Amino acid sequence: MTAEAAIHEHFEEHVHPGASVYVTVAAFLVVLTAMEITVFYVSALASVMIPLLIILSVAKFALVAMFYMHLRYDSYVLTSIFMFALAIAALLLIALLLLFAYLSHYLWFMVPLARILLPGH
Amino acid sequence: MRARFARRKFSGLAPLGLALTAVLAGCQKANPPMDTLAPKSDFANWIYGLFVEVTAWDLFILLIVVVAFVLAVFVFSRRDGEAEAASTVHTDMRLELAWTLGPAFILLMISIPTIRTIFREELPAPPANSLKVSVIAHQWWWEFRYPGTSIVTANELHIPEHRPIWVSLRTADVIHSFWVPALGGKRDVIPGQINHLWFIANTPGEYYGQCAEFCGDSHANMRFRVFVDTPEQFAAWEKNQEAGPVQPASGTAAAKGAAIFANSPCTACHTITGVSKGYIGPNLTHIATRTTIAGAIMKNDPKDLKAWIENPDALKPGANMPTLGLRGPELDNLVAYLESLK
Amino acid sequence: MAAQPKPIPAEYPSYLKGDPIGWLNTIDHKRVAVLYGVSALLFMVLGGIEALLIRIQLFEPNNKFLSAHAYNQVFTMHGTTMIFLVVMPLLLGAAANFIVPLQIGARDVAFPRINALSFWIFLSGAAFLHMGWFWHHGGLPDAGWFGYANLTERQYTPGMAIDFWDIGLLILGISTVLTGLNFFTTIVTMRAPGMTYMRMPMFVWSILITSILILLAFPPLTVGLIFLFMDRFFGTHYYQAVAGATPILWQHLFWLFGHPEVYIMALPAFGMISELLPTFSRKPLFGYPMMVYSVILIAFLSYGVWGHHMFATGMGPVADATFAITSMLIAIPTGIKIFSWIATVWGGSLRMTTAFYFALGFIIEFTIGGLSGIMHASVPIDLQQTDSYFVVAHFHYVLFGGVMFAILGSFYYWWPKVTGRMLNEKLGKLQFWLTVIGFNGTFFPMHFLGTWGMPRRIYTYGAGMGWTFWNQFETVSAFILGLAFLIMFINLLTSLFNGEIAPADPWDGRTLEWSMPSPPPAFNFVTIPEVHARDAFWARKYGSTGSRASQAPAVAGDPPNTEAAEHIHMPEPSFFPIVLAGGLLLCGLGMVVAWWRLIMAGGAIIFLSIIGMAFQYPTFGQKTHETEAASGGGGEDLRKVGVWAFIGSESVFFATLIATFMVYKSRNLGGPGANVLEIPLTSFSTFILLMSSLLMVLALAATQRGDRVWQRVWLCGTVIFGLIFLGDQAYEFTSLYGHGLGFTTDLFSQCFFTLVGFHGAHVAIGVIWLSVLLVASFMDRLPKSRALSVELAGLYWHFVDIVWVVIFTLVYLMQKVKGA
């Protein structure tokens, strides 16, 4: 059965990386963590702390997901599952923060819209 | 502002909507006291106009669906179930585009007035010359205060006509919802948060309100009344409320009742200015000026008041007011006193 | 009638035959579906009686039939029962469970034992909800199915009823999430060869999307219920307006679940209708691709509309306008579906069966419900209508006129396949007309009552309100509706004993379930079919042109093939699901009555059952399903897909916890605050956890090489590092406690301990999981061929690691940031 053979072949294609890749990724993770802690302690970086920390942690997140969780090597199906869930999770987080008014000034784009709709108000 | 609204209300498909609302209203001989279709404030009017408009669009869509349905089921199909289907068409780009864009257009038509009304009725600060009213919801009655005055009353809100009313909503316990259908939409009353509502009442009269958010055992018994007064009536009412309580003439039943009140546990929860300072229950300083008692579920007459004091829990399940065991002449005197507090 | 296909020879016994004990340990998806169906029907009787009690009470003003307290219990349980114990189990537990594997050409669902587990957990959760009845301080829950805080706090609702409700819903949530996980994995990985996504029957599509909704929508409810539990038992203040908290949080969490939940109930119904209409019109579904995209769009939008349940709460004009727009958008794909259904019928050759009657009734009734929904999306109108009977009318048109009509139609449609007997069409049509009269008579006047200002959830009303006549009309109609259901039950029972024997394909069906005998054998398909077209069975019968030849179908049912059947190995039945569900019940009961021994006993039963399940089969860690069914999933093992789906669900769980932490951190009043968190210590923890992930992948690499020594070393290392992390956390918590930061000290501390504590609990579960693998490794039961077992544990372990990466940044490193 060709379909079965194709599936089997596909299944075998998922060769996971060896120990050297894993150790390199670990080294990167340690370096990134060290950078994060530096950002926390160096007061000169205070103004850019939030974006820096977010970038660094996203990098760590991505490294673990791609290499240790093999998303880079496995089927796109698994990546899609995870990315979709992450998208919903992120939207939920942002929406709740907006609704509880911590980032509400970002939502004021609605006000000009209302002005257009409300001439003379 | 109102003129523009009125014009829009009668545009387009509005007659259809009006027809339905007319049928709706026609089913009932007298206007139900909490009818949302008899708006008596600008806020309620805006909503009513929007309601008529959306109802019209809804009926229009329903008509299309029903006509298509009837044609599909009864006209353009064979009903033998055996023969080859008359058509095996299972896709049509133009049709599919039409029923995607058509509804999108209708929704756009609905969303524009919707957003306009949202921004019109949800103001960040009180409008100019508004009367501020502070509402405090309790399980299961309403307290009304007028900031800047000493007026504290319960279950019956007096407001003047043709003046913006800025209502601040707070709660003493759980979530409630303040709703007077004739004067506009409802607004929840939420612990730890002050919500606002504003409207301009345009017709003097007595309007029914009721808590609209489930708030425990006696949710159904948390009603209230709003009296829209002429400015003169309102000024008179205000003056009377600000005055102290009526002092009963000595020797009358009311005077005996006053003594009973002053020495009863009633004082722990109820305020009568100069007599007691309780704040858990309604302020009774001018209870006799109110037409109802117990969250507007009973008339304010000696018979009902007596029944209420005798056993509050039987009339309003879960009520915080205890049964004090007052009976006979004692109770009659107390009731006489309360009914004298004009 | 269609040309009768020849009866299928009874070569293979039907799935219904066999030992009655087999119903307790069954893991056959069809038997589990029947169990679900029977229990849901019993709960339907209960929920229906509750509905009639409500209607009797409202028959006249100032009625004394029920006390206020009794009425509140009845309407709370009517809502909870109908949603969680009737509609969802009927749609998912019964219909999807039975039909999906048959429609996609699979022998069972992806995880048959978890499927059985779902059912038994469902049953214990359902029992749990009603248990308060037996306690003196109990009673049934009485705060509404929506259970708005802070009314649900112990201060306002003492007694055990809300505890039973809270934990009961948590238990039901576990069951539902497991179901979602199972169906998702089944549909992604187990479709028959050739069944591409765009060839799947519409019902399968709707269940796939519903499963995604379940996985991503239940976590907010779970978190909300956990907070409520903590408030009621541990004295935290998640929903009390003290210390800066707000009860509005509950509403957000509840409706974040609650609105997708509406579509969890509606989408399967849409799917059913999309099966029924083409079959009885003898036409393919109109606009299949658009129907698919609509379902996807509805599901996605449903996450962004929860605020329309909260327009009256004062979210502000910006949020109100935003939610109004998203809510209106959802009407577009819904409109596409309605018009496409009508176009499906248009020009067909209709067979007017009862099932088709209900499907047609659905179109009109659901449209009415959808149109009143548009009114609610318009915020100002909603301010008049919300919490009035208008809303009651609206959602009963959606959930009864829509979902229940679809379910009733499906009863008549699939009953022959499930039981092998036909239902009586005459009784069916009588039931249909009584349902239409009773349903519209009950719920249409509610539009009037709502417009006339009658609020929801009131146990009584005054005489002068002008509501009396229609209330009496509704009560009478409700009894007509009750009569319709009585006729249905009579029809079901008489069919079981006296019904006409059903042929394999009574409706000249289009999908694969009609290709097998009624009822099907335990293993479903003798040979897994190959699929070449969208309506797979129709194409097999009449050719892929879709044109129907005038003669009888060429193929009806699988040709008997006894030899092939002998080679089918179905997994063994298992008693672990029912035992585990019992343990969960004990555990929950122990929590409510605060009896630690009961919790421990329940916990021990759960733990041992899981271990038992893991080692039940000698094929532990190996692929148990034949590759012939595994065409989807990009060739990934179905267990891996399942674990990833679980990780997706967990992501939303942690996102909800993190969101709450961030919101409440900035509302925190007083208390030591975030500045007491120690960076050096937690940096070390971070390092340890990252390194444990390294050891974990090295263990996997060793297993894949077949290197048992290093496998043990690395696994052991991972476990030790995990334990060090937990030790660090224990030390951190004690030292924080020493600094005066207790669990309930302030808003910050309760959210911090909850978030970090739940992460710690995940690490602990990971450690246990890895320890089990370590034991397996020392028992020489982790050879190269079972590398997947290590990989799955690793995925979970790494996920816990990346959650920590996020927590470390947002909680620890951003501790000085106010409000975010």
Between C426-430, C568-572, C588-592, C767-771, the lowest mean confidence (pLDDT) is in C568-572
- Residue B28: what pLDDT? 52
State how far Cα B173 lies from the chain centre. Answer: 19
- Residue C89: what pLDDT? 95
Mean pLDDT over C731-748 rounds to 87
Taking alpha carbons only, the member of B122, B159, B150, B315 closest to residue B237 is B159
CB C236 within 8 Å of CB C140: no
Q: What is the DSSP letter of C309?
A: G
C615, pLDDT greater than 80: no
**In angstroms, what separates the C-alpha of B147 from chain A's closest C-alpha?**
28
CB B28 within 8 Å of CB C466: yes
CATH fold match for the domains C20-528 and C657-813? no
Express each pLDDT in C43-90 by its tens digit.
999 999 999 999 999 999 998 899 999 999 999 999 999 999 999 999
Taking alpha carbons only, the member of C119, C19, C379 closest to residue B186 is C379
CA-to-CA dists, residue C69 to B278, C64, C78, C711, angstroms: 28, 12, 14, 62
Asked whether the beta carbons of residue A117 and residue B112 sit closer than 8 angstroms, the reply is yes
Measured on CA atoms in the order B73, B77, B80, B86, is the torsion positive or negative?
negative
Taking alpha carbons only, the member of C564, C496, C494 closest to residue C525 is C564
Taking alpha carbons only, the member of A120, B244, B83, B126 closest to residue C548 is B83
Please provide the size of chain B in residues. 342
Strands B271-272, B276-277: pairing kind: antiparallel
Taking alpha carbons only, the member of C725, C723, C721, C748 closest to residue C736 is C748
- Between 2.60.120.260, 2.60.120.1270, 2.60.40.420, 3.30.565.10, what CATH number should domain B131-242 receive? 2.60.40.420
Asked whether the beta carbons of residue B90 and residue C284 sit closer than 8 angstroms, the reply is yes
Does B119 reach chain A within 8 Å, measured CB to CB? yes
> Which of C297, C666, C802, C818 is the best substitution to test chain A (most A C-beta atoms within 10 A)?
C802
Q: Residue C195: its chain A contacts at CB < 8 A? A: none
Mean pLDDT over C719-735 rounds to 94
CB B316 within 8 Å of CB B294: yes
CB B133 within 8 Å of CB B178: no
Give the span between the Cα atoms of B88 and A44, in whole angstroms.
Answer: 71
The residues, ordered by sequence, that sit 6+ positions from C197 with a Cβ below 8 Å of its Cβ are C205
- Residue C630: what pLDDT? 45
Taking alpha carbons only, the member of C492, C487, C391 closest to residue C40 is C492
Report the percent of chain C where pLDDT is more than 90: 61
Does C686 reach chain A within 8 Å, measured CB to CB? yes
Taking alpha carbons only, the member of C164, C23, C32 closest to residue C101 is C32
DSSP letters spanning C384-411: HHTTBHHHHHHHHIIIIIIIIHHHHHHH
Give the number of C-alpha atoms closer than 13 A to the C-alpha of residue A21, restricted to the C-beta side. 15
Q: What is the ipTM of this complex?
A: 0.90
A76: exposed, middle or buried (Cβ count in 10 Å: 0-12, 13-18, 19+): exposed
Asked whether the beta carbons of residue A18 and residue C694 sit closer than 8 angstroms, the reply is no
**In three state form, how does the secondary structure of A70-109 look?**
CCCCCCHHHHHHHHHHHHHHHHHHHHHHHHCCCCHHHHHH
Asked whether the beta carbons of residue C802 and residue A19 sit closer than 8 angstroms, the reply is no
Q: Report the residue from B181, B188, B191 with minimal CB separation from C150.
A: B191
- Residue A1: what pLDDT? 36
Query: Tokens at residue B246, please?
Result: 């009526």
Give the span between the Cα atoms of A110 and A69, in whole angstroms.
Answer: 41
The residues, ordered by sequence, that sit 6+ positions from C761 with a Cβ below 8 Å of its Cβ are none
Domain(s) of CATH 2.60.40.420: residues in chain B: 131-242, 253-340
CA-to-CA dists, residue C579 to C38, C249, C576, C598, C765, angstroms: 20, 36, 5, 15, 20
CA-to-CA dists, residue B58 to B53, B100, B321, C809, angstroms: 9, 16, 48, 50
Is the model more confident about C447 or about C620?
C447
- Residue C535: what pLDDT? 86
Query: Tokens at residue C724, please?
Result: 């060090």
Express each pLDDT in C17-40 by its tens digit.
877 888 888 888 999 999 999 999
The mean of the pLDDT values for chain C is: 88
Q: Residue A67: its chain C contacts at CB < 8 A? A: 697
Q: What is the DSSP letter of C118?
A: H
CA-to-CA dists, residue B96 to B24, C288, C295, C335, C338, angstroms: 35, 11, 15, 10, 11
All structural domains of chain C with their residue ranges: 20-528, 657-813
Asked whether the beta carbons of residue B116 and residue A113 sit closer than 8 angstroms, the reply is no
Q: Residue B120: its chain A contacts at CB < 8 A? A: 118, 121
Summary count for chain A: helices (H), strands (E): 5, 0
Is the model more confident about B25 or about C382?
C382
Measured on CA atoms in the order A41, A44, A45, A46, is the torsion positive or negative?
positive
C10: exposed, middle or buried (Cβ count in 10 Å: 0-12, 13-18, 19+): exposed
- Residue B77: what pLDDT? 77
- Residue C626: what pLDDT? 46
Res. A103 pLDDT band, cuts 50 70 90: very low
Query: Tokens at residue C487, please?
Result: 């006729």
Does C667 reach chain B within 8 Å, measured CB to CB? no
Find tokens 């002429």 and name the residue: B230
Please provide the size of chain A in residues. 121
- Count the neighbouring beta carbons within 10 Å of the beta carbon of residue B314: 11
Determine the residue type at C367: T
Mean pLDDT over B231-260 rounds to 88
Query: Tokens at residue B127, please?
Result: 């409008």
State how far Cα B291 lies from the chain centre. Answer: 17
C225, pLDDT greater than 70: yes
Q: What is the DSSP letter of C784?
A: G
Query: Tokens at residue C180, please?
Result: 């979602």
For residues C251, C257, C262 and C263, what is the CA-based torsion angle, rounded to 10 degrees? Answer: 150
State how far Cα C138 lies from the chain centre. Answer: 27
Res. C770 pLDDT band, cuts 50 70 90: very high
Strand partners for B209: B224
The mean of the pLDDT values for chain A is: 77
**H or E element: which one contains A17?**
none
Strand partners for C421: C501
The correct answer on CATH 1.20.120.80 for the domain covering C657-813 is yes
Taking alpha carbons only, the member of C222, C176, C248, C170 closest to residue C754 is C222
Express each pLDDT in A78-94 by its tens digit.
999 999 999 999 999 88
Give the span between the Cα atoms of C273 and C257, in whole angstroms.
Answer: 25
CA-to-CA dists, residue B342 to B145, B223, B260, C258, C268, angstroms: 18, 22, 18, 50, 63
B22, pLDDT greater than 70: no
Q: What is the DSSP letter of B272?
A: E
Give the span between the Cα atoms of C742 and A2, in whole angstroms.
Answer: 63
The mean of the pLDDT values for chain B is: 86
Express each pLDDT in C475-488 by its tens digit.
999 999 999 999 99
- Residue A13: what pLDDT? 45
Give the span between the Cα atoms of C523 and B305, in whole angstroms.
Answer: 74
Find tokens 């696994």 and name the residue: C715
Does C133 reach chain B within 8 Å, measured CB to CB? no
Express each pLDDT in C324-379 by its tens digit.
999 999 999 999 999 999 999 988 888 899 999 999 999 999 999 999 999 999 99
Give the span between the Cα atoms of C227 and C657, in whole angstroms.
Answer: 10
Express each pLDDT in C115-152 by its tens digit.
999 999 999 999 999 988 888 776 888 898 999 988 99
> Which of A8, A35, A100, A107 is the best substitution to test chain C (most C C-beta atoms within 10 A)?
A100
The residues, ordered by sequence, that sit 6+ positions from C262 with a Cβ below 8 Å of its Cβ are C302, C395, C398
- Residue C471: what pLDDT? 92
Please provide the size of chain C in residues. 820
A119, pLDDT greater than 50: no
Q: Residue B90: its chain C contacts at CB < 8 A? A: 283-288, 344
**H or E element: which one contains C49?**
helix C29-57
Give the span between the Cα atoms of C303 and C323, in whole angstroms.
Answer: 11
Residue environment code for C443-480, b if the CB has 16+ CB neighbours within 10 A, otherwise e: bbbbbbbbbbbbbbbbbbbbeebbbbebbeebbebbbb
Asked whether the beta carbons of residue A81 and residue C644 sit closer than 8 angstroms, the reply is yes
Class at the top of the CATH hierarchy for domain B253-340: mainly beta
Query: For chain A, how are helix, strand and coil distributed in percent, rounded to 5?
Result: 80, 0, 20
**In angstroms, what separates the C-alpha of C110 from chain A's closest C-alpha?**
16
Taking alpha carbons only, the member of C602, C755, C607 closest to residue C677 is C755
If one looks up domain C20-528 in CATH, what number appears? 1.20.210.10
B272 backbone dihedrals φ, ψ, rounded to 5°: -125, 115
DSSP letters spanning B105-152: HHHHHHHHHHHHHHHHH--SSPPTTPEEEEEEEETTEEEEE-TTS--E
Give the span between the Cα atoms of C670 and C746, in whole angstroms.
Answer: 7
Strand partners for C501: C421
- Chain C 412-471, CB below 8 Å of chain B: which residues? 448, 451-462, 464-467
Vertex C371: Cα angle to C367 and C373 (nearest 5): 115
Mean pLDDT over C528-542 rounds to 85
**In angstroms, what separates the C-alpha of C528 from chain A's closest C-alpha?**
13
CA-to-CA dists, residue C353 to C210, C430, C432, angstroms: 28, 12, 11
- Residue B18: what pLDDT? 57
Give the span between the Cα atoms of C213 and C6, in whole angstroms.
Answer: 42
- Chain C 209-248, CB below 8 Å of chain A: which residues? 212, 215-216, 220
Res. A6 pLDDT band, cuts 50 70 90: very low
